[in-house]
Structure 1
């Protein structure tokens, strides 16, 4: 079973030292092999398959194919030349790639013919991932990927570093982003922060959640459609057309299980750390205050076990299409207690005295319990099932948006993370005195929305939320979340010295 746990901090690695203006580094020499083996294997497969089949089935005579195709030696020469060309290209790519981490910026220079120089401000870093593909794990290497506040279009990657070096580099970037100096006498040295495990999900929970998820609903629909088609036509052969769909469904099950396998959540001074993956492992760090919105969802089959899924919007991740959404998942499956535990890591002040009751009402609903304001009765004409679930509730620190009947959803947006507001109304909604309220967040899986509010409530919420957002942004803590703590520590040391 998954559950809340607590483990001691791991032992410290050697400190990482940030660079001066003249110091540059290269990635690991094995990086070309780790990045290029797929291309080499594809070339060997494409060009060598037919020739190898000829050799094993018909044999060869002096390097000539007995089947009339191209000579086997010619095929081998082409494959060998392609391997050499790719090897040289990857080697030159490694040779011309350099990186540098100063107290203010991360610099990456790359490119052979077309040179590229990239620089990112450390105080704009939104999240950092340490990724280990299967081949990289065999060499003890990892890819360091970090995002800046640019909607997912400015991800910087260092492929590949020794795993210890990648962790120390992550610690250096996060420490500088936090505004903390660990040792005043050696400000360039940064020690990796310890972590405390908060919860871990068992393999059984992950597998059960996958087989009770939306993929299973799709599979059932395909099975029913195929059965109806066979009964209607009387031709079982048409089931062949459904084979690609079932292959896709099986691949979906495999991707979800391996992606969320061994999922663990930990807390450290530099943020929330997520560890997950079976074949490709990922260690993801989200610094405090970088989460723009939180979405909690529940499908119909999960309701039996009281399971929920938690997504986040993080500036820099964007819609996360390249990673199939895994990087925006804060908790793939969890009970209400586990949801509240991880929610407290990224949203420590819910703004109410009874958060379990308020958020429970937001997840389970319906009606107006614990201060939620739902749609008026006129909304029954266009939303007969969900009109009493569509609701909102403003706390002192966040806005809660609730909607959905079959697939339930609760969206939480801190007031200071409000980007802009909007009201939307079509002709039918205007006739019924209804309006949709939109709260614009950064790009991501969560689009905060309150459906079918009364016009009066919509206008009131628009004005009040605009005022709450403006006030929260003025008093919001600095992006250097540990700077004050470091200053306090130096003052305490000075006082003890006196």
Structure 2
């Protein structure tokens, strides 16, 4: 994050009485779908009646709505939707101060929302297809106490959205402002780290569980046609085929043109074909990391990396894509990503330790495995089930068919738990659960010996308490002296 220079446009944070509106074209960008839906419903009926010649029945009485009436209905719908979206735009205002973001909205029911900037967890700049045509973008950001997006501004000019993101991240980071230009910041430059080729994105989509499901369905249809002798069964399966095609299309268009970069304000992700997204995760905001590899991807040596970020929660509105920081990558690329979101692994040879977590079995590289009696409950994966505590994080390894490695920084541990069913108690086993913020990563060490589970529970509680005291700073670029003063003020309170 840097102070704006004379050659770059800057975003100036607002005084208490200064408010802004979103772009005037926003109602059109948001409302065109509703207008098209109304036009399609009435237009289709009118077209069908026109083609079938059903405008009048045999007695000469009108049997269908004439075109003028259809046009009037569509026109009225356009006016109504236009008025609703105009009022929504007219009553939506936002303000960004040095400490908070405020959004006021609502026509009948007024809504006032406020978020502390120092609690910002991640920021997205989203451009749907229609918004891209107008050069607009939606700004979404998460705060630590939200289970879903708590702030959305739609739509702003793309440059304005980027400058607004820079302003929020600057305040969240604790950047010192220039006394001669208070409040002025510009977007920090980024350094590209990796980019995924389109061929790999397409290949990963087809070498996935979707393809396995499609093959099973195809085999079932083939058997059904062969037994019944009715090829018409294939026509009945058309919705299923369309569903698989939509799944492939969604995966490819979401991950297409995936690029990862790093800057002083965090890890930046860029991806999307029709709807593009620029996502920023500030340093230290990742609560847990999960690396997975399915059996088909194992042949290609590919992995998928996901994260838990406070504020994202279990929100599935974007098909979980916002929690993915590497949709498909090689082992070297996985290690590169881990180096960005998990810069201090707490071991001397992180590559060897993480590789053992992804591919290893048994006790190699300090992992504590499940005991032999666990084979009765987990015959395929009991040798894989293990954990290792480093100086900075807990590593949880499990899974034989789908390999999983989950990492949780000690300071991000929310709570701990032990689970034991009647059969596990009979075998002297217990499972250890480490609770992070809500998200796709649910750290778990399965079927440990009771002694190891109790020891891990006690040791991890101590490590988490110590790490939280050492990593209390929320503003990652705050000067050390100011950070110390803030800590003294907190202790005084």
Q: Is the 8 A contact 1:182 1:191 kept in 2?
A: no
Residue 483 (structure 1) aligns with: 478
Residue 176 (structure 1) aligns with: 171
1:260 to 247, 255, 258: 255
Q: 1:324 to 1:66 in 2, by over 3 A?
A: farther
Residue 5 (structure 1) aligns with: none
Could you tell me how far apart the structure 2 residues matched to 1:59 and 1:138 are? 40
2:336 to 334, 337, 341: 341
2:202 to 200, 203, 207: 207
Could you tell me how far apart the structure 1 residues matched to 2:7 and 2:168 are? 17
1:110 to 101, 105, 115: 105
Segments of 4+ in structure 1 off by > 6 A?
485-488
Residue 242 (structure 2) aligns with: 247
Residue 217 (structure 1) aligns with: 212
Q: 1:323 to 1:76 in 2, by over 3 A?
A: same
TM-score, scaled relative to structure 1: 0.92
Cα deviation code 1:18-73 (max 9, x no counterpart): 00011000000000000000000001111122223444664979xxx986212221
1:473 to 464, 468, 471: 468
Could you tell me how far apart the structure 1 residues matched to 2:179 and 2:207 are? 53
Cα deviation code 1:329-352 (max 9, x no counterpart): 010000111001111111100000
Matches within 5 A, 1:76-87: 76-87=71-82
Could you tell me how far apart the structure 2 residues matched to 1:226 and 1:428 are? 40
Could you tell me how far apart the structure 1 residues matched to 2:128 and 2:7 are? 24
Residue 70 (structure 1) aligns with: 65
1:378 to 373, 381, 401: 373
Q: 1:224 to 1:24 in 2, by over 3 A?
A: same
Could you tell me how far apart the structure 2 residues matched to 1:34 and 1:485 are? 45
TM-score, scaled relative to structure 2: 0.93
Q: CA deviation at 1:174?
A: 0.4
Matches within 5 A, 1:97-496: 97-484=92-479
Could you tell me how far apart the structure 2 residues matched to 1:12 and 1:375 are? 61
Could you tell me how far apart the structure 1 residues matched to 2:327 and 2:227 are? 40
Could you tell me how far apart the structure 1 residues matched to 2:374 and 2:62 are? 74
Q: Is the 8 A contact 2:147 2:312 kept in 1?
A: yes
Aligned partner of residue 483 in structure 1, secondary structure: coil
Could you tell me how far apart the structure 1 residues matched to 2:247 and 2:149 are? 28
Q: CA deviation at 1:124?
A: 0.8
Could you tell me how far apart the structure 2 residues matched to 1:194 and 1:184 are? 22
Q: CA deviation at 1:185?
A: 2.4
Q: Is the 8 A contact 1:58 1:66 kept in 2?
A: no
Residue 3 (structure 1) aligns with: none
Aligned partner of residue 301 in structure 1, secondary structure: helix
Q: CA deviation at 1:12?
A: 7.3
Could you tell me how far apart the structure 2 residues matched to 1:182 and 1:349 are? 29
Q: CA deviation at 1:198?
A: 0.4
Structure 2, unaligned runs of 5 or more: 1-5, 484-493
Judge which range, 395-404 or 233-242, deviates more. Answer: 233-242
Could you tell me how far apart the structure 1 residues matched to 2:146 and 2:15 are? 30
Residue 7 (structure 1) aligns with: none
Cα deviation code 1:114-160 (max 9, x no counterpart): 11111111111110000000000000000000111134235210000
Q: Is the 8 A contact 1:54 1:66 kept in 2?
A: no
Judge which range, 169-178 or 218-227, deviates more. Answer: 218-227
Structure 1, unaligned runs of 5 or more: 1-10, 489-498
Q: CA deviation at 1:222?
A: 1.2
Cα deviation code 1:310-344 (max 9, x no counterpart): 00000000113111000000100001110011111
Could you tell me how far apart the structure 1 residues matched to 2:255 and 2:8 are? 27
Could you tell me how far apart the structure 2 residues matched to 1:189 and 1:465 are? 43
Could you tell me how far apart the structure 1 residues matched to 2:388 and 2:446 are? 13
Q: CA deviation at 1:187?
A: 2.1
Q: CA deviation at 1:183?
A: 1.5
Residue 50 (structure 1) aligns with: 45
Aligned partner of residue 461 in structure 1, secondary structure: helix
Aligned partner of residue 24 in structure 2, secondary structure: coil
Q: Kindly report the root-mean-square deviation, in angstroms, between the aligned alpha carbons of the 2 structures.
A: 1.8
Could you tell me how far apart the structure 1 residues matched to 2:174 and 2:87 are? 36
Q: 1:250 to 1:439 in 2, by over 3 A?
A: same
Could you tell me how far apart the structure 2 residues matched to 1:275 and 1:441 are? 26
Q: CA deviation at 1:224?
A: 2.1
Could you tell me how far apart the structure 2 residues matched to 1:47 and 1:471 are? 65
Q: Is the 8 A contact 1:12 1:191 kept in 2?
A: no
Count how many residue pairs are aligned between Structure 1 and Structure 2: 475
